[in-house]
Amino acid sequence: MNDSPDAEWHDEPTDWDQPGKLPRTRGGSDPGTLGSLNITAAATDPELLDLPWHIGLEDWPAQYLAALPRGISRHIVRFAHLGGSVIAIKETSEHVARHEYHMLRKLRRLDVPSVEPVAVITGRKARDGTDLDTVLVTRHLKFSMPYRALFSQTLRRDTLTRLIDAQALLLVRLHLIGFYWGDVSLSNTLFRRDAGAFAAYLVDAETGELYPGLSSGQREYDLEIARVNIAGELMDLSEGGLIEEEIDPLATSELIMDSYRRLWAELTDQESFDLNDRWRVNARIRRLNELGFDVEEYAIQTEANSSQIKLQPKVVDAGHHSRRLLRLTGLDAQENQARRLLNDMDAYRADNNPDVDEELSAHLWVTQVFEPIVRAVPRELGRKLEPAEVVHEVLEHRWYMSEKQDRNVPMAEAVQSYLDSILMHRRDEAAIMLTADTKTMDILGGGARDSP
C-alpha cells in the first residue's frame, strides 16, 4: 500500500499532469452531475470518477455493482467494480468515514490483517441538489469470506471453533499494538482459508482507537464484547437452522475467552525457573515461533542470592513462518500455509538436497514442486482457491492417497486426482457470489453491520 500523505482531489477541470488533482475521465459518469466532489485517497484511482456518486448508494444501477454477499447493516453498503478489483462502499457521516479511513491506514502500516482503505468521498449531491452522505471506500479482500458463507447446509462445530480461534488471534494481535476495537464480532471480520485453519481480517474499524498500550480492563471489555456479539450471531444462525443442533451458542461463544487468554498468557506472561534450566529460554521462544510469533526483545532478570531467573517476552511480532517463506522463496502466504509449505520444503531438502544450502534448495523446491502444481490448475479453476492453499491441499491429498494405497503416489498423479475429485467441485472463492433470493442473501451476507 502507498503510505504517502493523503491527496485531496476535487472534481473540477484539470490536466493529467497537475499534481494533487484527479483528472476528469472520459465516459462513465456524466461530468455535469458529479458536482464538487472531495476525494481523500492514498493513491490516485482515476476510475473512481466513473462511478455514479450523484446517486444514493441504495439506488445504484446494477451495471456498477459486483454480486458479493452483504447482510443487514445500519449503513448502506454496496460492492462495485473499480478497475481490476472490487471495492466496498459504505455511506456514513464524514467524521466517521474519515476516522475509519485513517484508522485502517494505521493498521495497514502496522501490518495488522485488515482491509485496505481506498478513499473518503464528500461533497456528493443528487441531480436535484440534495446532499448525499459521505462514503468510505475500501478494497474487497480477494479470496476472503464472511463467516456466514462458510457453510453448505449447516455450519459444523469444528468450523466454528477454527473461526473463533482465528478471531481470538486477530484480537490478540490488535491488543498487542494497542488497538481497542470496540465492536468485535464475526460479522466485522473476513476470513481466508489458511491450510486447514482460517486467517481473520478486521473489516470495520469505525469504533476503533489506537493507544500506546491497553489496560487489562480495556482488553477484557473488548473480549466481553466479542463474547456477547458471537453468542448473538450464533443464536441467529441457530434459529435459522444453519448450525448443528447440538451446538450451544452461549457455550460456544465462551471459546473465544479461553483461546484469547491462553494465547495472551503465552505471549506476555513472566516465567520463573532455576538457573540450571536456562534451556527454557530457547524453549519459550520455540513455542512462540510455533504459534507464529517472533520474539524481537525479551527481558531476563536475576536476583541476588537466588538461583531463580525471570523471563518475559517484551516485543513479539506475528508472521514468523510467513516471513521465513517470503525470505526464502518470495512467496507471500498466510501463516499456517507458510508453515505447511516450509515443512514440505524442509522435507524436500532432506530427501533431495541434504548438502545444498537452504536458499538454493528453497529455489529448487519452488521450481520443481510449487510452480508445477500451480501451473497444472486449469484457468477455469484458478479462482477456486489461492495458489498457496491449492498447493497445501495437493500435498495433503497426496499424503492421504499414499497412506490409503500403501505406496508413494507420484506428484503428477496426486495433482490430477485432486483436480478431478476435489478442486473441480469447490466454489470460486476469489469473490464469493451467491445467487439465492434476497432473503437468503441477507442470511448469508457477511458484515451484518457494515462489513464488506
Query: For residue 61, what pLDDT is reported?
Result: 93
- Give 35's pLDDT tier (boundaries 50, 70, 90): low
CA atoms within 13 A on the CB side of 146: 29
For residues 176 and 122, the answer to whether their CB atoms sit within 8 Å is no
Q: For the segment 265-311, what is each residue's pLDDT rounded down to a tens digit?
A: 999 988 888 878 878 888 888 888 888 888 888 888 887 777 778 88
Q: Which residues contact 49 (CB under 8 A, 6 or more apart)?
A: 11, 22, 24, 25, 28, 29, 34, 37
Query: For residue 34, what pLDDT is reported?
Result: 56
In 21-156, which residue ranges form alpha helices assigned H by DSSP? 31-34, 94-109
For residues 181 and 211, the answer to whether their CB atoms sit within 8 Å is no
Nearest to 111 by CA among 291, 296, 323: 323
Angle 445-451-452 from CA coordinates, rounded to 5°: 75
For 147-266, CATH gives 1.10.510.10
- Give 205's pLDDT tier (boundaries 50, 70, 90): very high
Query: For residue 304, what pLDDT is reported?
Result: 74
* SS3 (DSSP) at 28: coil
For residues 327 and 334, the answer to whether their CB atoms sit within 8 Å is no
User: Does the CA dihedral 403-408-409-415 come out positive or negative?
Assistant: positive
Number of CB atoms found within 10 A of residue 343's CB: 12
Which H helix or E strand runs over 170?
helix 157-176
Number of CB atoms found within 10 A of residue 354's CB: 8
- The grid coordinates of residue 383 equal 479462482
Q: Which of 73-82, 164-173, 411-420 has the lowest mean pLDDT?
A: 73-82
Q: What is the pTM of this model?
A: 0.80
Query: For residue 133, what pLDDT is reported?
Result: 95
Nearest to 147 by CA among 135, 159, 131: 159
* SS3 (DSSP) at 238: helix
Beta bridge partners of 274: 308
Q: For the segment 370-407, what is each residue's pLDDT rounded down to a tens digit?
A: 999 999 999 999 888 999 999 999 999 999 999 999 99
Query: For residue 447, what pLDDT is reported?
Result: 38
Query: For residue 273, what pLDDT is reported?
Result: 81
- Give 123's pLDDT tier (boundaries 50, 70, 90): very high
Give helix then strand counts, H and E, for the chain: 14, 13
- Give 151's pLDDT tier (boundaries 50, 70, 90): low
Number of CB atoms found within 10 A of residue 294's CB: 16
CA separation for the pair 88, 118 (Å, rounded): 9
Query: For residue 31, what pLDDT is reported?
Result: 45
b/e map 120-159, b = 16+ CB within 10 Å: bbbbbbeeeeeebbbbbbbbbbebbbbbbbbbeeebeeeb
Mean pLDDT computed over every residue of the chain: 84
CA separation for the pair 245, 234 (Å, rounded): 11
Query: For residue 413, what pLDDT is reported?
Result: 96
Class of domain 7-142: alpha beta
Q: Which of 145-149, 163-167, 260-264, 444-448 has the lowest mean pLDDT?
A: 444-448
CA separation for the pair 133, 123 (Å, rounded): 8
pLDDT (mean) for 26-34: 47
On the question of pLDDT at 32 being above 50, the answer is: no
Q: Where are the domains of the chain?
A: 7-142, 147-266, 271-318, 326-425
For residues 119 and 39, the answer to whether their CB atoms sit within 8 Å is yes
